[in-house]
């Protein structure tokens, strides 16, 4: 089932030879919306049957949005996070915050008050649409072989970095991007840096980041699809075309 395996996700100068945030040279930044799911006022307060229904609807709604190519990335935060209220995140294929709020509000768990949402403009040159297609095809191939993905199959833990001073953090991360430790680089609301790091826990991420002048920042463990390692190859495949035109657990 795609839902159980789906998961992750800068304003940049439009210079022809400049690499967009998160992508290779020549790749333009694209605009999306990142939605954070936070613990809502009715989390843990629903009767058991309503809780089950809310989460069944939550997963079904994510599947629908993914099938419609509106939900590109989704996944739950891990235990080690800077804010205990953080539950999960979506990256939606729209640049319109109002549309993103409507899509997020279609989630039955949001409607039930289990989650509340916060939306942020996100820009990255990383090929998130291609990442979704690759994940959908992986699941479709499994189904053609007569089997369904098991919960958590194809997923792994990453570490998310959010830094207050985008330019400062991007300079510090540049050498780590070059050697593949930064799997996805983006900007939030044009001023903050956001990155998916190739680390499975905070200790590993901190060891790699030791000495980097990131400025004020936070790190969070996050559970997502294991396809982020493919982003560089997917980005390389998209560049010619671009040049031509161009789960949250309970």
Structural domains of the chain in order of their starting residue, each with its CATH number: 2-244 (3.30.70.1060)
pLDDT of residue 14: 27
Q: Return the axis-axis angle of helices 48-67 and 128-144, rounded to nearest 10°.
A: 110
Quote the pTM value. Answer: 0.85
Query: Would the pLDDT of 242 be above 60?
Result: no
Name the more confident of 47 and 241: 47
Name the more confident of 115 and 233: 115
Query: Would the pLDDT of 243 be above 60?
Result: no
Query: Would the pLDDT of 13 be above 70?
Result: no
| pLDDT tens sequence across 139-181 | 888 889 998 877 777 889 999 999 999 999 999 999 999 999 9
pLDDT of residue 22: 55
């Amino acid at each position: 089932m795609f839902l159980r395996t789906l998961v992750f996700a800068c304003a940049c100068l439009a210079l022809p030879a400049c690499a967009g945030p998160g992508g290779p040279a020549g790749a333009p930044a694209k605009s999306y919306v990142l939605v954070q799911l936070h613990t809502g006022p009715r989390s843990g307060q629903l009767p058991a049957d309503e809780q089950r229904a809310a989460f069944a609807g939550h997963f079904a709604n994510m599947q629908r949005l993914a099938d419609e190519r509106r939900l590109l990335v989704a996944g739950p935060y891990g235990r080690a996070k800077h804010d205990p209220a953080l539950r999960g995140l979506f990256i939606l294929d729209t640049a319109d915050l109002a549309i993103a709020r409507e899509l997020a509000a279609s989630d039955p768990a949001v409607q039930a008050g289990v989650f509340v949402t916060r939306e942020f403009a996100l820009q990255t040159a990383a090929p998130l649409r291609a990442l979704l297609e690759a994940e959908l095809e992986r699941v479709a191939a499994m189904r053609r072989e007569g089997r369904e993905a098991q919960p958590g199959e194809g997923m792994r833990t990453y570490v998310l970095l959010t830094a207050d001073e985008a330019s400062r953090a991007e300079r510090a991360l540049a050498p780590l991007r070059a050697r593949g430790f930064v799997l996805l680089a983006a900007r939030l609301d044009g001023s903050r840096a956001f990155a998916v790091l190739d680390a499975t826990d905070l200790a590993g991420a901190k060891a790699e980041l030791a000495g980097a002048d990131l400025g004020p920042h936070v790190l969070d463990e996050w559970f997502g699809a294991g396809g982020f390692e493919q982003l560089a190859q997917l980005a390389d495949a998209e560049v010619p075309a671009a040049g031509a035109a161009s789960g949250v657990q309970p």
